[in-house]
Amino acid sequence: MYNAFFGFTLNPFNMSPDPSFLFRSRQHEEALANLIYGVQSRKGFILLTGEVGTGKTTMLECLRDFLNAQQIAFASLFNSRLTVAQFFEMLAYDFDLNCNRLSKTEVLLTLNHMLLERTAAGRTTVLIVDEAHNLEWDVLEEIRLLGNLENRKGKLLQVVIAGQQELDAKLDQPQFRQLKQRISLRCALRGFDAGESAAYINSRMARAGVRDQKIIPLEIIEEIHYRSQGIPRLINAICDNLLLTSFAMVCRTTTLEMLDEVTADMRLEYPERPSFQQDRCIPDHSLR
Ligand SMILES: Nc1ncnc2c1ncn2[C@@H]1O[C@H](COP(=O)(O)OP(=O)(O)O)[C@@H](O)[C@H]1O
Ligand SMILES: [Mg+2]
């Protein structure tokens, strides 16, 4: 809507996990390197956790791009509200297994056969599970059993599991003990620090065609960082609404008043700013 007004060729704060907008913060770079390393070196179970909106799905999209480029076969589980039967049907569909996809036994046999053949040929096969914190116990248990399949060369199926922090708590429960023990590589995402938030906002604007942007001045970026706690999805939502408000007011530079309006409309909750008066060092005469 506001793209032409600000000179963008595409929407800079699109909400989709689009790898072409990837901002390589150190933690994202590290997480992606870990996922790729874990898959390539057949580590078995790899866990990616992080608060909602920190970039987990974006990392998985980047991993998928890598797997496609390397012609590594993978199946992706997005819908975490699956039953066991639906899970096996989906596996059969994604791996294009030639069997009765509604029969768990047939799917398992065919999958096992395929995995053995691929491993013998030195090829890697991956299962990617997003939103795993929502998965039912029985589906997670099936995933654990699949990830256990191995021959002398190592695990037959590499399993990347991503989910919100509740997943860590879930894995701490006694019934998930076995799965927890099998996780050989862990990575976690958190919000950006102030410098990263600024670089992130500027990089998205540059990707959308506006370099050295002055539309959102640095002091507003700092405030956006504070109010979003550096969570990329919140930064996107705030910036998108901010640009829309600025556009509606035919103003090419965003202001603090606009930001206040936007975050109030979003009902965004963020910690109280510490009062500088209280923080300032006032000599305490009572100690004398
Ligand atoms: N490193 C990054 N580079 C570019 N965009 C990112 C990055 N991390 C997160 N985002 C953006 O933030 C939003 C939320 O990311 P997403 O991967 O969906 O988070 P999660 O899966 O952890 O909830 C998306 O719009 C995505 O494009
Ligand atoms: Mg996600």
Domain parsing of the chain, residue ranges: 26-189, 192-265
Q: Ligand 1 centre and the CA of 57: distance in Å?
A: 7
Residues near ion ligand 2 (CB < 5 Å) are: 56-57
- The protein residue whose alpha carbon is closest to atom 25 in ligand 1 is 15
- CB distance 11 to ligand 1 below 6 Å: no
Give the per-residue pLDDT at 276. 57
Q: Which CATH class is domain 26-189?
A: alpha beta
Q: Is the CB of 22 under 6 A from ligand 1?
A: yes
For residue 133 and ligand 1, the question of a CB distance below 6 A is answered with: no
CATH 3.40.50 fits 192-265, yes or no: no
- The angle, 0 to 180 degrees and rounded to 10, between the axes of the packed helices 256-265 and 232-248 is 120
Q: Closest Cα to atom 16, ligand 1: which residue?
A: 55
Tens digits of pLDDT across the chain (288 residues): 899 999 999 999 999 999 999 999 999 999 999 999 999 999 999 999 999 999 999 999 999 999 999 999 999 998 889 999 999 999 999 999 999 999 999 999 999 999 999 999 999 999 999 999 999 999 999 999 999 998 887 899 999 999 999 999 999 999 999 999 999 999 999 999 999 999 999 999 999 999 999 999 999 999 999 999 999 999 999 999 999 999 999 999 999 999 999 999 999 999 888 765 544 444 444 444
Nearest CA residue ID for atom 8, ligand 1: 55
CA distances from 271 to 54, 172, 268 (A): 18, 29, 10
